[in-house]
Amino acid sequence: MASVTKTSTKKSAKREKTNFGKDKRRKHHHFLVTVYYADGEKFGRVYTDKDKADRFADRQKRSPVVKSARVTMVSCSGSSGWSR
């Protein structure tokens, strides 16, 4: 009778690093600048650089028609899409 050896087909517990985890392009935040005008209008612009967002908000605040401008950080919640 021939003997048959059974090999294990279990997956290893340790996962390999994917390229997604090593991608440097994905390591940034998004900053939403919201500008509120005196006539009730609202305008928003998204930046990936906090300094640029702050400078844009400061520049908009100097305008006489702008009531307020604020910078908020928006984040992506994984694969489910954008959340604010």
pLDDT band at 80 (very low <50, low <70, confident <90, very high): very low
For residues 1-13, b (16+ Cβ closer than 10 Å) or e, as one string? Answer: eeeeeeeeeeeee
* Higher-pLDDT residue of 30, 15: 30
C-alpha to C-alpha distance for 53 and 30, rounded to whole angstroms? 9
Q: Give the pLDDT of residue 27.
A: 73
Give the pLDDT mean for 42-51: 95
Average pLDDT of span 44-61 = 96
Residue spans of the domains in the chain: they are: 28-83
pLDDT at residue 83 greater than cutoff 60: no
Residue 75: band (very low, low, confident or very high) from pLDDT cuts 50, 70, 90: confident
DSSP, collapsed to helix, strand or coil, labels residue 37 as strand
